[in-house]
Amino acid sequence: MTNSKPDTQNPASDGKKAVVIGAGIVGVNVGLALLKKAYDVTILDRGEPGRGTSFGNAGGIAVSECAPIAMPGTLLNVPGWLMDPYGPLSIRWSYLPKMMPWLLRFIAASSKSRVEQISSELAAILNRVWEDYEPVIAEAGLNDAVFKKEGALGVYRSEKTRREAEYGIDLRRRKGIKIRDITKDEIMDLEPDLAPIFPCGVIEEDWGRVLDPFKIVTGLYKHFIERGGKFQTAEVTDFVYRDGQPRAAMTTTGDQVTFDTLVVACGAWSKTLAKRLGSPVPLDTERGYNTTVPYHDVKLSRTIISADDSIILTPMEMGIRVGGAVELGGLIAPPNYDRAKALFAKGKQVMPKLNAEGGTEWMGFRPSMPDSKPVISKSPKHRNVFFSFGHGHLGLTMGATTGRLISDLVTGSQAPIDMTPYRINRF
């Protein structure tokens, strides 16, 4: 990775020196989009680009996932979540007091009227994903060799659970998502190595995937550097102000990295910096687990979503990744890899030939807002500060579109969608 020493002396003379904090999929896309607007862009991150949540995610370009996490009936599920440490959404008891304000907003977002509204606002971004990604992919040389668009297969263990999912499926169809029902025979024709336990399923036609999420981030990062972007290893702790506006990022080493424009895009760690900049925000962390195993003798040609098990199986370059579910436990507690093992056990029920030999377990932090919508926003406090975080499960999916929208906000251009629903001060 390319590093350069902090520039503490020479702000860009044309007022177009931008600093982006965060080198994940969102931050790198923001950096690229600002380069296209002729900004002098430096990305700061305390670690190597792409090594955070962007490294080990499920790899989905999940354009059909406009339904929020909190759906009607969520309140009834909370007691079960608290009692089941390996369920689809678990909460660490020790973290519950800190989590309560987020959780109350999460429950409030689950009313039917709110769900309908939120799904429309998510769909406004998701319906643009391929349009915005395709030129970025082409310019960076990341074509069909690393991006696939063959749809995802959702499977159900009974006709009953398919009927129970009808509201969410109908919701997505009404937002323009292409979803078609298929039979058991069609499921087995598409994926013969699945267990013959699914009487019905759906194809989410516009879903895509990547063969290696880390290669996508590093490929875009390489393109960013080749176009003149810069990267500095730095952990930002505070900001230096001039004339009431932040003008430099202060790092743990005492350096000051100057800027004219600042974008905070450091995922789950954005909450602290946003508060420093006068915009407290109810961002919290979903801890996601997965296991990636070599193929051995298993064949899988597309993403599988097992609704009853709350798991997703993705065929990747390095093997099959089995993940899903959510643990609410903050940034500090150590990983509980028993959750990864429990998810993999469910994966073996879905695909019995899976073999854990040679597999690797992983845990990452999904930066999540209680209403499932990202923050893509101007600062209400500072004219030169912008925020881009809180994408939850959809950071990889929304990366290019978020970059485009932030660049529109920074330059004062007309955005292709109404940006009001994603403002940082919406709560």
Asked if residue 160 has pLDDT above 60, the reply is yes
Mean pLDDT of 336-365: 95
Q: What percent of the chain has pLDDT over 90?
A: 84
Where do the domains of the chain lie, and which CATH numbers do they carry? 1-68+111-146+208-283+369-427 (3.50.50.60), 69-93+147-207+284-367 (3.30.9.10)
Which residue from 257, 280, 285, 255 is spatially nearest to 269, judged by alpha carbons?
285
Residue that wins the pLDDT comparison between 329 and 11: 329
CA distance linking residue 66 with residue 173, whole number of Å: 10
pLDDT at 10: 35
Q: State yes or no: pLDDT of 80 exceeds 80.
A: no
Q: What is the pLDDT of residues 107-124, one digit of tens each?
A: 999 999 999 999 999 999
Residue 89 has pLDDT above 80, yes or no: no
Q: Provide the 3-class DSSP secondary structure of residue 101.
A: helix
375 falls in which pLDDT band (50, 70, 90)? very high
Taking only the tens place, the pLDDT of each residue in 41-52 is: 999 999 999 998
Cβ burial 297-333 (10 Å sphere, 16+ → b, else e): ebebebbbbbbbbebbbbbbeebbbbbbbbbbbbeee
Is a pLDDT exceeding 90 seen at residue 230?
A: yes
Instruction: State the Cα–Cα distance between residues 403 and 64, nearest whole angstrom.
Output: 20
Please check the confidence at residue 197 and state whether its pLDDT lies above 90: yes
- Stretch 291-300: mean pLDDT, rounded? 96
Going by pLDDT thresholds of 50, 70 and 90, the confidence category of residue 209 is very high
The position carrying tokens 């430096």 is 42
Predicted local confidence at residue 88, as pLDDT: 75
- What is the distance between the alpha carbons of residues 271 and 374, in angstroms, rounded to a whole number? 13
Helical H segments across 25-73, by residue range: 25-36
Strand partners, 236: 251
pLDDT at 328: 85
Per-residue pLDDT band for 210 (boundaries 50, 70, 90) equals very high
- H or E stretch including 224? helix 213-226
pLDDT band at 36 (very low <50, low <70, confident <90, very high): very high
* pLDDT, the chain, mean: 93
For residue 9, name the pLDDT band (cuts at 50, 70, 90): very low
> Is the per-residue pLDDT at 181 higher than 80?
yes
Higher pLDDT, 53 or 277: 277
Nearest CA to 399 among 25, 21, 19, 22? 25
Model confidence at 11: pLDDT above 80: no
The stretch 126-142 carries a mean pLDDT of 94
Q: State pTM to two decimals.
A: 0.93
pLDDT score of 8 more than 80: no
List helix spans (H) across 49-205: 74-83, 96-108, 112-126, 129-140, 159-164, 166-174, 184-190
Give the C-alpha separation, 405 to 415, whole Å. Answer: 6
Neighbours of 243 (CB within 10 A): 5
Residue 183 CA, distance from chain mean position:
31
Q: 199 vs 15, which has greater pLDDT?
A: 199
For the record, the structure tokens of 131 come out as 């349009």
SS3 for 89? strand
> What is the mean predicted confidence (pLDDT) over 76-97?
77
CB-CB contact of 250 with 374 (8 Å): no
Mean per-residue pLDDT for 405-415?
Answer: 97
* Separation between Cα atoms, residue 208 and residue 410, nearest integer Å: 29
Q: Closest Cα to residue 55, out of 21, 32, 22, 25?
A: 25
- Per-residue pLDDT averaged across 182-195, rounded? 98
What distance in Å separates the CA atoms of residue 136 and residue 222, rounded to the nearest whole number? 12
Beta bridge partners of 44: 21, 232
Q: What is the pLDDT of residue 95?
A: 87
Residue 329 has pLDDT above 90, yes or no: no
pLDDT average, residue stretch 54-67: 94
Residue 93 — very low, low, confident or very high, per pLDDT cuts 50/70/90? confident
Residue 308 has a pLDDT of: 92
pLDDT of 184 > 70? The answer is yes
